[in-house]
Structure 1
Amino acid sequence: MGGKGGMFYYADGIDKVLMLFGTLGCLGDALMSPLTMLILSGILDDYGGGGISFSIDVVNKYALKLLILAIGVGISAFLEGICWTRTAERQTSRLRMEYLKSVLRQEVGFFDTQVGSSINFEVISTISGDAQLIQDVMADKVL
């Protein structure tokens, strides 16, 4: 995960924990379809069975199961989103700090050769845009 030049190079221990919980949330979110199909198959079995009437108790039983499933999937999706977004913000912040340190290590002559402040502004805006793009990839595309 944190290999040389890898996508998660700037991840520390807290970020790895956040990514673990985000992945667990992703798995919980992905279980929505199979579990919904399992519950709906039980409804169809009860409805299709000839001997038992389809009473309000049966409807309440399956409605409660679907409600519990919806709450669980909602919590999983929230956990997934918040953990991946937070770890992307933390890693991007570290990336920006490293870039600032590398710019400040330049010789003074490097800044003298830059004409006007528009060049400096372009460099800063380009880096900010690239950092935002990296953050979006970590937070959204990994999900």
Structure 2
Amino acid sequence: MEESGGDKKDGLFRYAEGYDKLLMFLGTLGSIGDGLQIPLMMYVLSDVINIYGNRDAKVSNSTVDKYSLRLLYVAILVGLSAFVEGLCWARTAERQTSRMRLEYLKSVLKQDVAFFDTQEAGSSTTYQVVSTISADSNTIQITIGEKVLVSLTY
């Protein structure tokens, strides 16, 4: 590995496999669909406003039903997009974090036995290792599953 940080494998998604990249792509598409909520709603409502603003137009129940149905379609599309977005990003975060925990545990188990003998007698090395793995992996899982997701949505 390079010291300058120029290695491509030093990023947040270094444990992502092909399936994870697919999940991230689908999650990003879901994020785009989720972000289209207001523009699509304004597009549908602009037609409604144009009809109400026209003096000659008569607003009937069928007109209201037509635009209500369009708003329902927008809501369904945005709801499905938001679901796909959350599902895909949460799943890839879990998969990558699990892979990261496994690699971390493998690297700890590769340590020489003398490393564990040099620890203080009163401290629990096993507890510290498990605690560190859990805390770090939970932080990374939250970052991938929620923080990246929020930054894509807004």
The TM-score by the shorter chain falls in which range? over 0.9
2-structure distance, mates of 1:119, 1:99: 15
| Counterpart-to-counterpart distance in 2, 1:86 and 1:64 | 33
Question: Could you say what secondary structure the match of 2:11 adopts?
Answer: coil
User: 5+ residue gaps in structure 2?
Assistant: 1-6, 150-154
**How far off its partner does 1:119 sit?**
3.6
1:4-36 CA deviation, whole Å, 9 max, x = no partner? 201100000100100110000000000111010
Query: What are the ranges of 5 or more consecutive residues in structure 1 without an aligned counterpart?
Result: none
- Could you say which residue in structure 2 is the equivalent of 1:126? 132
SS at match of 1:9: coil
Structure 1 letter corresponding to 2:133 = I
How many residue pairs get aligned? The number is 142
**Secondary structure of the residue that 1:7 maps to in structure 2?**
coil
Residue 82 (structure 1) aligns with? 87
Which of residues 9, 16, 24 in structure 2 aligns to 1:19? Answer: 24
Query: Given the alignment of the two structures, is residue 138 of structure 1 paired with residue 144 of structure 2, yes or no?
Result: yes
- Tell me which stretches of 4 or more aligned residues in structure 1 moved more than 3 Å: none
Q: Compute the RMSD of aligned alpha carbons.
A: 1.3
Q: 1:92 aligns to what? A: 97
Letter in 2 for 1:37: M
1:49 aligned onto 2:82:
no
Q: Secondary structure at the match of 2:9?
A: coil
TM-score by length of 2: 0.88
TM-score by length of 1: 0.95
Q: Which moved more, 1:78-87 or 1:116-125?
A: 116-125
Q: Tell me the distance in 2 between the aligned counterparts of 1:11 and 1:77.
A: 22
Residue 76 of structure 2 is aligned to residue 61 of structure 1: no
Q: Which residue of 2 aligns with 1:34?
A: 39
Cα deviation, 1:58-80, whole Å, max 9, x if unaligned, reads: 10000000000000000000000
| 1:41-94 CA-partner distances (Å, limit 9, x unpaired) | 111101111111111111000000000000000000000000000001000001
Separation (CA, whole Å) in 1 of partners of 2:128 and 2:115: 15
Shift of 1:117: 5.2
Indicate the percent of aligned positions where both proteins have the same amino acid.
56
